[in-house]
Amino acid sequence: MASSIANGGGGHDALRFYLTKTAQFFLVLATTLLGLVAVTFIIGRVVPIDPVLAIVGDRAPAHVYERARQELGLDLPLIQQFWIYLKKAVTGDFGNSVLTTNPVMTDIANAFPATFELATLGTIIGTIIGIPLGVLAAVKRGTLIDQVVRFLGLAGYSIPIFWLGLMGLLLFYAKLGWVAGPGRIDVTYSYLYTPITGIVLIDTAMQGQWDAFWNAVSHILLPACLLGYFSLAYISRMTRSFMLNELAQEYVIAARVKGLSEMRVIWRHALRNAAVPLVTVIALSYANLLEGSVLTETVFAWPGLGQYITNSLQNADMNAVLGGTLAIGTVFVLLNLVSDLLYRLLDPRTR
């Protein structure tokens, strides 16, 4: 009886606890996003290029210049300028891209699926191969396989991604002809389907355009494997470290005492526990691939966010650069949020 009463009280406390937690969580999220906007705003104001001159040209008379300046709101105090910038940012208005003349947000929405497709496939490859490799290295600690995994990991931390991409193109595209070259899909196939999700593999498959699908596969294979390798390097290393930690725990011995097979002890008991921190690692690696995609997309002419940012950079298109940076930062923050939620879901102790 007493315990049920205590439980009732506990339930109430727990509810309040969760509410404060959630409130805190959203507060942190909001301030982080606000900070992201502030950072991009500050970067935008540091630019040595005068945005007014960029519009009116350097021969414009003083009154034209002044009018343009007022239209851009540059005569207002900085804090007021930030307020306007923030209000626009919240509605997704980052101005127009000088390069494409579209609103930056439209460009980002168009470019995002390509990056998403590539980074997701990369993470899937990295996770599917990286986790078993890491487990194997931990179980066979100190053997050849352990050394190989260690070296693969260290190399992944040391190879410039853009260089490995170029070398991959050289070998698998130019010399061996195993995969298609840069781009997402050959022009001949690009009219065979209508973009719906923006993810070529899904669009072509849904519309039954299998030739186009396989062409897209052959295009995405190399960059996805490349990103997959970098994700694998990180994931396998962390898996190894988490597994070594778990395998030394008493409950692993208890599982062996119960007479369970070694496979079950490793994969069901130890890995299930290692999976809790691994979720964070996978989310982080996904976020890192967003970063890697900037260089990879440049190498593979992949029309995603990374290429959009670098193209805009080369044309001093600050609106586009800052919008793209903010978009990637936001995804980064959201990924951290998702990993946090998954962590809670997987670990009964945090529920």
Partner 1 sequence: MAGSPAFSQPTGLRAWLLSPEPTSRWQARLGRFYLGWRTFTKNPLAVMGLGIVVLLIVVALFADVLAPYSPVIGGDLRTQRLLPPNETFWLGTDDQARDILSRIIHGSRITLFVVVLVSIIATPIGLLVGTIAGYLGGWVDTVLMRITDIFLAFPRLVLALAFVAALGPGIENAVIAIAITSWPPYARIARAETLMIRNSDFIAAVKLQGASTPRIILGHVIPLCLSSVIVRVTLDMAGIILTAAGLGFLGLGAQPPSPEWGAMVATGRNYLIDQWWVAAMPGLAIFVVSLGFNLLGDGLRDVLDPKAAK
Partner 2 sequence: MMKPLLEVEDLHVRFHLRTGIVEAVRGVSFQLGRERLGIVGESGSGKSQTGRAILGLTPPPGEVTAKRLAFDGVDLLTASKRTLRTLRGGRISMVMQDPKYSLNPVMTIGEQIIEAYQAHAKASRAEARDKALAMLEAVKMRDPVRVFSLYPHEVSGGMGQRAMIAMMLVTDPDLLIADEPTSALDVTVSMEVLRILDELVAERGMGLVFISHDLKLVSSFCDRVLVMYAGRVVEELEARNLHEAKHPYTQGLMRCLPTLANDVRPLPTLNRDPSWAL
- Interacting residue ranges for partner 1, rule: CB under 8 A: 28, 31-32, 35-36, 38-40, 43-44, 46-48, 154-155, 157-164, 166-167, 169-170, 174, 240-241, 244-245, 287-288, 290-291, 294-295, 298-299, 309-310, 313-314, 316, 318, 321-322, 324-325, 328-329, 332-333, 336
Write each residue from 240 to 259 as x if it is in contact with partner 2 (CB under 8 A), else as -, in one continuous string: ---------xxx-xxxxxxx
What residue 225 binds from partner 1, partner 2, none (CB within 5 to 8 A, per partner kind)? none
In order, the DSSP letters of 304-317 are SHHHHHHHHHHTT-
H/E stretch holding 201 = helix 200-206
Q: Which is nearer to partner 2, 12 or 45 (CB)?
A: 12
Q: Cβ of residue 261: shortest distance to partner 1, in angstroms?
A: 25
Q: Are 289 and 250 in contact (CB under 8 A)?
A: no
Q: Which is nearer to partner 2, 59 or 349 (CB)?
A: 349
Pairwise CA distance, residues 104 & 101, whole Å? 8
Q: Cβ of residue 10: shortest distance to partner 2, in angstroms?
A: 11
**Residue that is written with structure tokens 């007022």 in the block:** 70
How many CB atoms lie under 10 A from the CB of residue 188?
Answer: 10
Q: Which residues contact 104 (CB under 8 A, 6 or more apart)?
A: 94, 95, 96, 97, 319, 320, 323, 324
Q: Which is nearer to partner 1, 163 or 210 (CB)?
A: 163
Q: Cβ of residue 46: shortest distance to partner 2, in angstroms?
A: 49
Nearest to 119 by CA among 326, 312, 269, 335: 335
| Residues near partner 2 (CB under 8 A), total | 21
| Binding positions for partner 2, 288-347, rule CB under 8 A | 346-347
What residue 291 binds from partner 2, partner 1, none (CB within 5 to 8 A, per partner kind)? partner 1
The helix/strand/coil state of 103 is: strand
What residue 349 binds from partner 1, partner 2, none (CB within 5 to 8 A, per partner kind)? partner 2
Crossing angle between the packed helical segments 318-346 and 104-139, to the nearest 10 degrees: 40
Pairwise CA distance, residues 258 & 212, whole Å? 53
Sign of the torsion angle spanned by Cα atoms 177, 182, 185, 191: negative
Q: Is 138 in the site for partner 2 (CB under 8 A)?
A: no
Pairwise CA distance, residues 139 & 337, whole Å? 32
What residue 316 binds from partner 1, partner 2, none (CB within 5 to 8 A, per partner kind)? partner 1
Q: Which is nearer to partner 2, 12 or 272 (CB)?
A: 272
Pairwise CA distance, residues 328 & 325, whole Å? 5
Write each residue from 257 to 286 as x if it is in contact with partner 2 (CB under 8 A), else as -, in one continuous string: xxxxx-------x--xx--x----------
**Residue that is written with structure tokens 């980064």 in the block:** 332
Q: Cβ of residue 268: shortest distance to partner 2, in angstroms?
A: 8
Beta strands in 165-291 (DSSP E): none
Please tell me the chain's helix, strand, coil percentages from 3-state DSSP, rounded to the nearest 5: 80, 0, 20
Q: Cβ of residue 313: shortest distance to partner 2, in angstroms?
A: 46
What residue 48 binds from partner 2, partner 1, none (CB within 5 to 8 A, per partner kind)? partner 1
Residues engaged in binding partner 2 (CB under 8 A): 141, 249-251, 253-261, 269, 272-273, 276, 346-349
